[in-house]
Structure 1
Amino acid sequence: MVDYSKWKDIEISDDEDDTHPNIDTPSLFRWRHQARVERMAEKEQEVSKLKKEKEEYEAQIKKLKEKMKTSEESTDMTTLKAALNELEKKGENIIKKQKDFEKKEKLEPWNVDTISSDGFSKTIINQPVSRKEDDMSEEEKEKRMKEFVGKHESSIKKYGMFRNFDDSRRFLMVSSRD
């Protein structure tokens, strides 16, 4: 049996939407798109906020651990340990927020903007090929053939002397590498 459950979380089905005749369909799609874009912007802000919190937390932990290394065993150390424990609780809270955000992101339905991404960032167009033999006049073909024979005369004579197929094949394999 085919599992179609992966398709239920896609928010794209424009063709299935039957709108009321009095509602302007392009406007409705435009409003939905704008709402999607706003939700994505809010999500980006939330991601940046979480990253900032995590960076601040890591900087505070690092600073506190350096203080603990430099300070001596005294009453100052107990306050530093208490502050470290408090920061670790804050870190657990940040990790919990990240996991909740990841769960929320997984449950979020796909839409037109998130379902795919560009595979290539540029397009390369082939250069025009040189003139084909069909387009050449008889004189051009003859000139091209004479140039080729003049350039490869020794190889052509050597190839013409072979009687065995294997020898011919071996010669072509070796000469094609040169």
Structure 2
Amino acid sequence: MSTGAGIDYSVWDHIYVSDDEDVTSPYVDTSSLFRMRHRARLERMAEFQHSGEDLENNFAECKRLLEKAQGRLKELEEEGRNEEEEAELKKVQAESVLNIKAVTKEKEKIEKHKTFVETYGKEIKHFGLLRRWDDSQKYLSDNPHLVCDETANCLVAVCIDFEIDEKHALMEQVAHQAIVMQFILDLARTLKVDPRGCFRQFFSKIKIADKTYQDAFDRELELLKGRVRSCAQIRMDSAMKELEEEERQKRLGPGGLDPVEVYESLPKRSQYRVQQNGLHQSVSSSLCKEIQKSFDEKNIQMLQIAINKLDPEEGKYHLRRCIDSGLWVPDSGEGDDDDKEEDEEEEED
């Protein structure tokens, strides 16, 4: 079989391959055996095919269940987000309600204070001007409704008004009574009782007070005076600024400029050249007084001479500011000529 060129495979050209069906026993009916084996093979093939179909069906069912689970998970996530959004919304609404309640409570407090002051304003001021401990105690005994926070706040407001009116002695007297009322309220909070039921206890204590208690009272009084002076100064400064702004708005000229500001911003000095003895010389001129004097005397010729001493662009700038502020109201003809000149210059540019 073997040659020098290699293995000879020709011996396998006519080989016969048979399956185990060819091997039969002489005691067995071959055709019956073949049919039985063929039927068994078909059954196995059918079973295998059925198993494949079941597998495909199971796979499809699993895929469907997976998609359903994913869809449900997405719904739960959406519901979770919605719940979070709803919880956040409820939180915001709760905060809004609390803010509204706080604002409403503050408005009610302000309204209550306003009503109380309108009703008992005279009695409060009368208490604020009392000097003796016994007089203060008797007055509060006759008017126990004054022992409250509204009275203390009102006394502080009266102090500020007196300080603004430069009635310093009255401010200090009312400040003393404001501290008296504050100490009564502090004592009530400490004892956890109604302040109307403990103001007598305060007066009994202050009349025989030791140095520590008296020093604390005097220290609080000085602090209050300082706060009253500071607050009064802030209010006066604010009122002054508002008044100055109102006056400034009234002064504004047709171009929206303040004549006072324009008047004070006029050029101080200017360099211009003149010809003298055939030579050009630089001359320094003080223009501020000249221009201001021309406005004071309403001398248009003097104003024109002073403006002509400026650089043309600078002169035009200040002249326009004077017109916009109302310092100078040119004749209609002059105004038209100026507008025409400006239009021509813009066209040339």
Question: What is the TM-score when the length of structure 2 is the normalising length?
Answer: 0.17
Report which structure shows greater RCO (CA 8 Å, sep ≥6): 1
Question: What is the TM-score when the length of structure 1 is the normalising length?
Answer: 0.32
More strand by share: 2
